[in-house]
Amino acid sequence: MRTLGLDIGGANLKASDGEALSISIPFPMWLDWKRLPVALSELIDQFGAINRLAVTMTGELADCFATKSAGVNFILDAVVEAADKREALIWQSGGEFVDVATAREITSLVAAANWHALATWCARLTTSGHGVLIDIGSTTTDIIPLERGVAMPTGRTDPERLLSGELLYFGVRRTPLIGILHSATLSGVGRPLANELFATTYDVFLVLNELPEQPESTDTANSRQATSEEAFSRLARQLCGDTEEFTYDELREFAEQCRATLIRRGVSALRTVCEGNIPDTVIISGEGGFLAEQLISNCFDSSSEVLNLRSTLGELHSNCACAFALARLGAEQPEEIAWL
C-alpha cells in the first residue's frame, strides 16, 4: 500500500511519498483554481504507482472562493477527480483522517489543517518533556507547542491561532514588505515605504544570500527574475526609487531591517507560545529553517536540543514537511478502513 501525501496550498502544491521523493510546484490558487484537478493529476503522476492519497489543505482561504467552506468542497471535488478511484484520506485538526463524505460535514476542521498533521508527526520526536515545532514556509510561520509526544495547540482555526501567536502571517518568500514595516533608516535617514506590492521577503533573503537565486523563476513581485540583482531593484522600488538613487549598501541595510523585524515578531510569538519556558526540544522545518534558527538563537540558550528536518530528512522533504508527514501518517492506516 503506497500512500502519497498532498498538501494543497493557496500558492503551492506539495506532494511526498514519505520515502524517496517530495515535490513542490507553484500554483496560484486565486488565479488558476479551475485547473486544480488537472494540476493534482499531473503531480500525482510524477510518483508512479500510488494506492491512496492522504490530503490536507490551506488553499480554501484563497479569495476566489466566497467562503472557506466553499473552498474546502471545491478542493475535495478536485481531489476526488484527481484520485481516479483511489482512496482519499482527509486530515482534520481533530487529529485523525476522515473520508471525503465526512470531510464535507466538518469543513471548519478540514480547513487549514496541514500544520496539525505536521505537528502530530513531529511530536513523536519529543516523547518526553516540553517541545516546540517551528515551521517557516513561503507564506506563514507555525509555532506549535509539543508535550510528551503530543501536539498541544491552543487554537485550531486560523483566527484562533493568529490570536494565540501559534500562526504568524509571514514567510520567507511571499510576504509583502509593506506588511512588515512602514519605514526604514538608510544612511541615517528615515525612509517611508510605498504602500504597494513592489517587493517581498523573497527579495530580502535573496539580497542577504539566505535563499538561492533562481533565474528561471519569475514568481516575484514584478514577475522578473528571482536573482539578487533584480531583488535590489525591487527593494529600491519599495522605497519609490531605483538602484541609481539608492546604493547596494543602503538596500542591504533595508533588507537587514526587514529581517530584524521578522525576528523580533517571531521571538515575541515564540516566548508567548512557550509561556516563558525553555523547551527541551525544538524542531525546525520548512524552507525558512535558516530564519527559525535565528529565532531560536535570539530566544533560548543552548540547552534546547534542536532538530532541523533539513538535516535529518533532506532539503526537499523539509520544504514539503506537511506532505511528508501526511504520507507517513497515512501509511500507518489499515489497508481497509471501516469508516463510521
End-to-end Cα, the chain, rounded Å: 22
Q: Which residue matches cell numbers 519569475? A: 218
**Helix, strand, coil percentages for the chain (3-state, nearest 5):** 40, 20, 35
pTM, two decimals, is 0.93
Largest CA distance in the chain: 67
Nearest to 319 by CA among 329, 327, 309: 309
Kindly list the structural domains of the chain, giving each domain's residue range(s) and its CATH number in brackets, ordered by start.
Answer: 3-116+317-331 (3.30.420.40)
CB 202 within 8 A of CB 211: yes
**Distance between CA 110 and CA 91 in Å, rounded?**
6
pLDDT of residue 255: 99
The closest alpha carbon to 109, from 98, 96, 94, belongs to 94
**Which residues have CB under 8 Å from 338's CB, separation 6+?**
none
Element (H, E) at 96: strand 96-98
Q: What is the mean pLDDT of each run of 10 residues along the chain (340 residues)?
A: 96 97 97 98 97 97 97 98 96 95 97 96 88 96 95 94 97 98 96 98 99 96 98 99 98 98 98 91 96 94 88 95 97 72
